[in-house]
Structure 1
Amino acid sequence: GQAENDEFVELYNPTSSPVDLTGWSVLTQNATGGNPDTVQLGGVLLAHRFLLIGDAEMISVPDYPLANFSLTNSGGSIILRDASQQTIDALGWGSPLVKEGNPCGSSLPDASSLERKASASSTAQTLGPGGSEELNGNGCDTDNNANDFVIQTAVSPQNSASPAEPLEQGAGFGTASLSPLAAPGSVPTTFHIVFRSDTTTASQVWIVVPSVFEWPQTADSVNLVPLASASVAVSGDTVKVGGLNTSSPDSVVVEILSVIPPDSTDQFTFAVLSASGTKLPSSLKVNPSTLIHGTPRTIASVKRNNSSGVPLLLDRWVTIRGTVTVATQFGGPAYIQDTTAGMAVYDSTFEQACTIGDDVTITGKISQYNGLTELKNAVALAFNGGGNDVTPLRLRLSDIANDGAGGVERYEGMLVRVDSVTVNTSSWAVSGSGSNYVLYDGRGDSIQIRIMADIDIANTSAPQGEFSVVGVVGQFQRNPPFIGGYQLMPRSLLDIIAETAGPGIRLDPPYEVSLDSTSITLSWKTLEPGTTSIRYGLTTEYELGERTNTSVDSLHRMTLTNLQPATPYHVLISSSNARGTSALADYVTSTASSGSTGRFEVYFNQSVDTTLARGETAQGGPAFFMPKLLDRISAAQSSIDVCLYSLSGYPGDQIAQALLAARSRGVHVRVIAERDNMGLSSGFEALQNGGIRVIGDDFDARNAGAGYMHNKFFIFDNNNPSSPANDWVLTGSWNPTNPGTYQDYQNVILVQDRALAVAYTLEFNEMWGSSTDVPDAQQSRFGVDKLDDTPHVFLINGTRVELYFSPSDHTAPHIVRRINAAENAIDMGLLTLTRRDVALTLVSRIRSGVRVRGVIDNRTDAGSQFDYLLGSGADLLLDQSQVVLLHHKYAIFDGERFPSDAWVETGSYNWTSAAENSNNENALFIQSGRIANLYLQEFSKRYAENGGRDTIRITRVAERSIPKTLSLRQNYPNPFNPATTITYALPVDAKVRLTVYDNLGRIVRILVDGSAAAGTYTVSFDAQALPSGVYFYRLESQLGSAAKAMLLVR
């Protein structure tokens, strides 16, 4: 996982004279004087101008770009020294060794800066965008840091190309124009400056090229038109034209050749100075500028907010690329999105020029209107093709309603879909520009839906009962903080998806309830009673036929028999009633293996707590990973498929040599890599030099390398179906690099099972573009281009396993499902956690009495949920290792009871939106008390090392008393006010749904919705917000259904 670095130091010259910085330096250090970093300066800092030192990847272009430049939030110092090493200025925060007067605060919040005041009364607001002192410079210096600086959340770094502050009222005369007015970054360009004098006769004209522009800086790179008698000299960034005798209406035309602007989007000013006679030139009152548009940035990176929901780049120019999701449908604004985020574009010319599905590159200025981040003054730079589909991101209402925590708005501007909702109206009546209504779901959540007057939904009937909605997420929040006020905005009637055809099937995968090597049983639920039907086959032609059951029910179960072992099947699930047929999209399922051992091997590369072992000691230590992998490579007989994020150092060299040796003995070897890590000296380069084909995630031109190819898996001997005992899969968190192998905390799991290997191979082939040794770029799919076309449920030697690939398979809802099913404890070892839906579910389980513990490496990633969870009762610890990463991505569900059917989730999937929505990932869920105990031994060691105070115990539990029949008991107490409890019993493992309805049949609350083991359960129902009356609660499962009434009395 990576956190974006935008850290910087900004220098300002408050004097009226230029300052020669030759020999000067800036020293940064932490509070104790450690981690010193010195930046040597040079050149001249003009009066009232700025100079920027910062990370090379930051959006504002630094005059001194540095690799991995970093400052410490908790405390540190910045020291400015002149050529004689005398301290000119110093800034300290926290408890630093070096400071002026008192330091600034105890620590700095994320995404903030310390800004020097313009006056003694300055505040963050007066210095911020639109403030009364925004353009007054930063010249207040009383030699007391605490008095001279404010904490600024509206961060907007300025460089040497930024205008002077206060704005110069130049003494120069005449006017100047510049062309081109806009130009691409990183492309050699000739700039033309035309100076026109007024009544004064000009003897000299100087032009200062922005310091971040690259050019030869010689007289040969400057042309004068025509002015043969004039002289040209170049001093650094300044072109000095002398020997002039120019007055109105004559002009001076200066051409500066081979100028390469930076690869950044911003407005850059060319300072023009003029003089008459023998006077020194002075700046014009108005200087010309050009707009440079650099490589498009991700939308998520340019629309980041401070904690109050104000864009950090407010009023800054940016370049983005995305697909249009709204054009003229709303009458403004339009919307575009990429794989990271969405954004409104408020520009009528752009709206009229584009259509939904256009892939466009645009430059514009970040603005905000009632909380909605918009791009205004848009300039369309490129049309990259049309007809592109954007798959709406499936969300719950709570995801949208709870967006914006800490200013991080993940869904604003995105095209999303919500399912199983109802609305508080029978018609979409619209007045004015549009009207708002309220969407509800069965979980008690709600959001606004806005119907615009210009779309065809206006003044039509609204669906009755549950339906789905597709729309972009808008925002209308008048007052700060600009968080909340989110509303779903459908674009046309096609975005209102009503269950009008057939009984309506609930989307609740996975659908397998049992399987073996020759049969699969699937089950699903419908909103209304209907018949049962499955078409199936080896392809989406469903050529093997159809199985039907004409009996009518809302709970459906069908078994497919006479199937082949370890074989994926495509199934089309449908149910019919008098109103028509409802069908799911193609669903891929697999039979179990025959002839595979079903062996699981788990390894960790660091120490473990073996005192928690129950029957088997976990294998922990740096000596395990490489020998186990190299043994598997050596044992391979027919094929090895490798899918890795990185491969380098000693492990990379050894693995590459082993793979080359396997290829030499006739094993087919294919390799997929993250393009960014395929550089020189990598293991991938060694493989390519040895003749093994390696493709990166940019092989798919449609996805073009968006997101990371973050998988870490090997598949062995899957291309030989006659040897099912040879098929192995290796996966986990391990990056085979020096730090990834010997330093960072990692886990690896190997599974011997042909059916699982087949599924991984299908995913590999989708990225590779073929099932042969030759990749096919036309068929290759990565990232958001991939399809949900692999099996997800496996039975491996009696162990249930689920497998999900990102982003096609939507892994996060399955993590949420596992969290909801936990009864006792959830223990997590994670690199990072930024998913709000996951965090909200964890908090819900905490409030239900489930213990949630975690050791997490990172709390500073954008959208981190660490502090929210910590404040909500989770026992979270931040990994204290200063050098290494806790690189795990695992969670253990109910692993502290023995024996148990606990679950473990592991793989490459970080619990982040990037992993969910753009990266290529795999997540493996395993229901096994043995595997859970092995992972618990690793977790317990990390938990204790980082100061965990809770005692992790293995509790032996008595065999659960299993009910003989499905039952639903009368709630107690009854009547009740305001809460009651409901008890139900399941004789076997089953999916179950417990729903409360009012006396009109409307869903009031969904209390339970997921899989549960056989046993007896009691849930609470709090009716605090409901009126008195009779309510009904209904239990549904594959086993049958039952319903009862209860009375709420106020």
Structure 2
Amino acid sequence: MKRWLQLVLMTALTVSFMNPISEGQRASAASTGDVVISEIAWMGTTGSYNDEWIELYNPTANEISLEGWRLDAEDGTPSISLSGTIPANGYYLLERTDDSTVSDVEADLTYSGALGNSNEVLSLKDDSGTSVDSVDDWYAGDNDTKAAMERVDESVSGMTASNWTTATTAYSGGYGTPTSGVENGSSSCDSTTEQLNNVSETIGSINVYFNKCALSGYASSGNEANYNVNLEDRLINRINQATTSIDFATYEINLPNVVNALINKAAEGVDVRVVADSKDAADPHYAERFETMRLYLEEMARGSDMLIGTADDITIFSDSPMFAVEDQAKRSEHGLPGSPEDYPFVTTKVGSTETSGHLFVDAEQKTDGTYYSPGNQMHNKFAIIDDRWVFTGSWNFTVTGLYGSEENMANDVLDGNQQHVVETQSPELASVYETEFNEMWGSTTMTPSPQEANLGPRKTDNTPHEVTIGGKKVEVYFSSGDDAIGKMSDLVKNEADDSAYFTIFAWSDQTLIDELKYKWEGSYNDLEGTLTGFDVKGVFDSSFWNQWWSASIEMTGRTALQTSENNPNIRWANPAPVYVDAETRKLHSKTMLIDADSSSDPTVVVGSTNWSTNGNDINDENMLIIHDSLIANQFLQEFYARYSQAGGTIQMQ
């Protein structure tokens, strides 16, 4: 696998540390190593042994003119005059005889003359006759399977045996990656086909799902990520397998198929408990969405027979009480009775406001029996199935979160927010999550206790923080109370040796920013530091890229228009290669990869927790820190897709 090749979709960013390439820079002379011989199908293809091809690669940030260049064999055949240009971080394909040699890739140049099957020496020279790169033998490749010889590292001589490997990725003519970059880490983003490559039902399994594309060319052997995945299907699959219990914590829900799956399980006699986040119904940002959610929640609360107080009802609990929607037309659309009058009509204090309505979801109560306001967020999105499966991640169970629109949902088009899900089969981890769920629920029974329940900042640190799943060390932290972001800061400070890559929706925590700054440039001080060699790459959601409190401001060395005591904006002296996302909707992940492409305890941080004061100290959240090279590699494949799409350069070490 070509572990070094770069994929770039460079975009012009209007930040002060990046300068656009001038027209005069776009085609320039090269020096040794600026263009390399990257792949050779010396054996031809499955179509014909005569269908030989050669790939060149430009690892620089500038387009390079190949006018006057030559690629010559020592024995005189082939002898090729090059022309045209090779793009920055791009490829140049030479096909023998005609452009049908590689049937599905357009040649940059066709040539004549056969390569020998052994002891061939090739020399690449620029227009002045200076040698730029050489290969002096076929160190890899397979004539029987028609697998091309691929270079490993462009910075290492092409005349080094260990710097070549035999291709393992299939293409139309055998095995290789003729400019498609599949094994070079190039985009699988051209396809929206669901890829379920690594799914296990065994005890100790950890399945990771991405709803957007991933670059499977960066997969370690047999470890291709699951991508373009319909997360709703995976959740319903897990719900449908439940035989005894489902504990379901949801920030928001409006997917009818998920609602129906839960209702059906309750009707079968499975114990279903739901903790849902309440919203301020008067807030215009939430009003319509919260109304829709309450209609779906009432469907669950009534069960399949639409009657309250029967065996198929799902009990729902919240951080603040919910009152039934009164609109008859909307109730009819959801198959609900025309009036919610069979629920008690109450007048009670919610926060500091007296509120009236038909109460159908009870909530955590203050000591005086009144309710907390819905200002804090029960931001979890997890399910515990049969006390053995845990399904969690960044994905809200919503149309927007997965499909983007009702029309897309009807056509199974995944154009929603970028998300990830991790599901694990671990009774030990399920027990930890159940302890957290019961603390929010207020009891261990099917009946919640409003007086005993604790949500948000009233929770305590009462769960184990480390479990072993299939031989993998997994840390688990909940907010608030467990200082999850503090544990991330410690992880960066004490355990990160080589790199930290991240995709983040919202990041304001200063300590975590500062620890990463110190790794990057050896200083905690504003505009001070020298690059250490530690690698930082990241993508921020566009919603917060220019917010004064965002880590993106400091990492790019910009000066915020506002300041805050808790966000002193310690700018980095050496701006990091971090980018604003290029997603069609929101970049919703909260993911950090530590030493993902090394042997130094590759680790990935995942979950619902944004790296902020709210995420750490106020909201209900969950975070997993998974120490495992295979899981980290799957997240790396997805990260590279997001990073290259945003304009970042990939160069694996």
| Per-residue deviation, residues 430-467 of structure 1 (Å, max 9, x unmatched) | xxxxxxxxxxxxxxxxxxxxxxxxxxxxxxxxxxxxxx
Q: How far 1:867 sits from its partner (Å)?
A: 1.2
| Per-residue deviation, residues 285-344 of structure 1 (Å, max 9, x unmatched) | xxxxxxxxxxxxxxxxxxxxxxxxxxxxxxxxxxxxxxxxxxxxxxxxxxxxxxxxxxxx
Say yes or no: does 1:885 pair with 2:586: yes
Q: How far 1:752 sits from its partner (Å)?
A: 0.4
Could you list the runs of 4 or more consecutive aligned residues of structure 1 that deviate by over 4 angstroms after TM superposition? none
Say yes or no: does 1:927 pair with 2:596: no
Say yes or no: does 1:701 pair with 2:365: yes
Using CA pairs under 8 Å that are at least 6 residues apart, name the structure with larger relative contact order, 1 or 2.
2
Say yes or no: does 1:618 pair with 2:225: yes
Secondary structure (helix, strand or coil) at the match of 1:619 reads coil
Secondary structure (helix, strand or coil) at the match of 1:646 reads coil
Which of these residues, 717, 724, 728, is aligned with residue 386 of structure 2?
717
Is 2:392–2:421's contact at 8 Å kept on the other side of the alignment? yes
Is 1:706–1:918's contact at 8 Å kept on the other side of the alignment? no
Secondary structure (helix, strand or coil) at the match of 2:519 reads helix
Q: How far 1:832 sits from its partner (Å)?
A: 1.6
Matched to 1:660, the amino acid is I
Which is greater in Rg? 1
Residue in 1 that maps onto 2:644: 944
Residue in 2 that maps onto 1:635: 241
Matched to 2:647, the amino acid is G
Residue in 1 that maps onto 2:458: 785
Is 1:828–1:891's contact at 8 Å kept on the other side of the alignment? yes
Matched to 1:902, the amino acid is P
Residue in 1 that maps onto 2:509: 835
Q: Structure 1 residues 920 and 738, CA, compared in 2 at 3 Å: closer, same or farther?
A: same
Alignment of 1:475-486 (within 5 A): none
Q: How far 1:861 sits from its partner (Å)?
A: 4.2
| Per-residue deviation, residues 895-943 of structure 1 (Å, max 9, x unmatched) | 012x552110000000111111111100100000000000000000010
| Per-residue deviation, residues 644-670 of structure 1 (Å, max 9, x unmatched) | 11101xxx2100100011111110000
Residue in 2 that maps onto 1:798: 471
Is 2:497–2:600's contact at 8 Å kept on the other side of the alignment? no
Residue in 2 that maps onto 1:686: 299
| Per-residue deviation, residues 776-808 of structure 1 (Å, max 9, x unmatched) | 001000011101001101111210010000011
Secondary structure (helix, strand or coil) at the match of 2:272 reads strand
Q: Distance in 2 between matches of 1:614 and 1:810?
A: 33
Matched to 1:901, the amino acid is D
Secondary structure (helix, strand or coil) at the match of 1:854 reads strand
Q: How far 1:836 sits from its partner (Å)?
A: 0.8
Residue in 2 that maps onto 1:755: 428
Secondary structure (helix, strand or coil) at the match of 1:931 reads helix
| Per-residue deviation, residues 565-616 of structure 1 (Å, max 9, x unmatched) | xxxxxxxxxxxxxxxxxxxxxxxxxxxxxx9811000000011111100021
Residue in 2 that maps onto 1:665: 268
Q: How far 1:704 sits from its partner (Å)?
A: 4.0
Matched to 2:376, the amino acid is G
Alignment of 1:315-464 (within 5 A): none
Which of these residues, 538, 544, 549, is aligned with residue 854 of structure 1?
538
Residue in 2 that maps onto 1:729: 390
Is 2:204–2:469's contact at 8 Å kept on the other side of the alignment? yes
With 688-697 and 808-817 compared, the bigger mean Cα shift is at 688-697
Q: How far 1:628 sits from its partner (Å)?
A: 1.4
Matched to 1:837, the amino acid is T
TM-score under structure 1 normalisation? 0.32
Q: How far 1:868 sits from its partner (Å)?
A: 0.5
| Per-residue deviation, residues 137-179 of structure 1 (Å, max 9, x unmatched) | xxxxxxxxxxxxxxxxxxxxxxxxxxxxxxxxxxxxxxxxxxx
Is 1:607–1:941's contact at 8 Å kept on the other side of the alignment? yes
Q: How far 1:622 sits from its partner (Å)?
A: 4.1
Is 1:706–1:783's contact at 8 Å kept on the other side of the alignment? no
Is 1:895–1:903's contact at 8 Å kept on the other side of the alignment? yes
Is 2:502–2:593's contact at 8 Å kept on the other side of the alignment? yes
Residue in 2 that maps onto 1:439: none
Matched to 1:657, the amino acid is N
Say yes or no: does 1:817 pair with 2:490: yes
Q: Distance in 2 between matches of 1:860 and 1:781?
A: 35
Is 1:644–1:709's contact at 8 Å kept on the other side of the alignment? yes
| Per-residue deviation, residues 247-283 of structure 1 (Å, max 9, x unmatched) | xxxxxxxxxxxxxxxxxxxxxxxxxxxxxxxxxxxxx
Is 2:604–2:626's contact at 8 Å kept on the other side of the alignment? yes
Residue in 2 that maps onto 1:1043: none
Secondary structure (helix, strand or coil) at the match of 2:556 reads helix
Q: Distance in 2 between matches of 1:811 and 1:781?
A: 18
Identity of aligned residues (%): 33
Could you tell me which runs of 5 or more consecutive residues in structure 2 were left unpaired when the two chains were aligned.
Answer: 1-13, 15-200, 280-285, 304-312, 321-362, 367-371, 404-415, 522-531, 558-571
Residue in 2 that maps onto 1:909: 609
Q: Distance in 2 between matches of 1:843 and 1:799?
A: 29
Matched to 2:226, the amino acid is Q
Say yes or no: does 1:655 pair with 2:328: no
Q: Distance in 2 between matches of 1:740 and 1:864?
A: 23
Matched to 1:879, the amino acid is D
Is 1:793–1:800's contact at 8 Å kept on the other side of the alignment? yes
Secondary structure (helix, strand or coil) at the match of 2:291 reads coil
Is 2:609–2:615's contact at 8 Å kept on the other side of the alignment? yes
Q: How far 1:862 sits from its partner (Å)?
A: 5.4
Q: Distance in 2 between matches of 1:811 and 1:633?
A: 28
Q: Distance in 2 between matches of 1:860 and 1:783?
A: 28
Alignment of 1:209-608 (within 5 A): 597-608=203-214
Q: Distance in 1 between matches of 2:625 and 2:375?
A: 26
Matched to 1:803, the amino acid is V
Is 2:545–2:552's contact at 8 Å kept on the other side of the alignment? yes
Which of these residues, 555, 576, 583, is aligned with residue 874 of structure 1?
576
Q: How far 1:944 sits from its partner (Å)?
A: 0.5
Q: How far 1:876 sits from its partner (Å)?
A: 0.9
Is 1:679–1:685's contact at 8 Å kept on the other side of the alignment? no
Q: Distance in 2 between matches of 1:878 and 1:710?
A: 24
* RMSD over aligned Cα atoms: 1.8
Q: Distance in 2 between matches of 1:762 and 1:952?
A: 43
Q: Which has the higher strand share?
A: 1
Matched to 2:453, the amino acid is S
Q: Distance in 2 between matches of 1:865 and 1:835?
A: 8
| Per-residue deviation, residues 938-994 of structure 1 (Å, max 9, x unmatched) | 000010111102x232x5xxxxxxxxxxxxxxxxxxxxxxxxxxxxxxxxxxxxxxx
Could you tell me which runs of 5 or more consecutive residues in structure 1 were left unpaired when the two chains were aligned.
Answer: 1-73, 75-594, 719-726, 956-1050
Secondary structure (helix, strand or coil) at the match of 1:675 reads coil
Q: How far 1:685 sits from its partner (Å)?
A: 3.1
Is 2:546–2:553's contact at 8 Å kept on the other side of the alignment? no
Q: Distance in 1 between matches of 2:373 and 2:461?
A: 19
Is 1:599–1:752's contact at 8 Å kept on the other side of the alignment? yes
Residue in 2 that maps onto 1:504: none
Matched to 2:545, the amino acid is R
Residue in 2 that maps onto 1:392: none
Q: Distance in 2 between matches of 1:841 and 1:686?
A: 47
| Per-residue deviation, residues 1025-1049 of structure 1 (Å, max 9, x unmatched) | xxxxxxxxxxxxxxxxxxxxxxxxx
Matched to 1:707, the amino acid is N
Q: Structure 1 residues 773 and 862, CA, compared in 2 at 3 Å: closer, same or farther?
A: farther
Q: Distance in 1 between matches of 2:436 and 2:252?
A: 19
Residue in 1 that maps onto 2:160: none
Q: How far 1:845 sits from its partner (Å)?
A: 0.6
Matched to 2:384, the amino acid is I
Q: Distance in 1 between matches of 2:264 and 2:582?
A: 41
Q: Structure 1 residues 773 and 762, CA, compared in 2 at 3 Å: closer, same or farther?
A: same
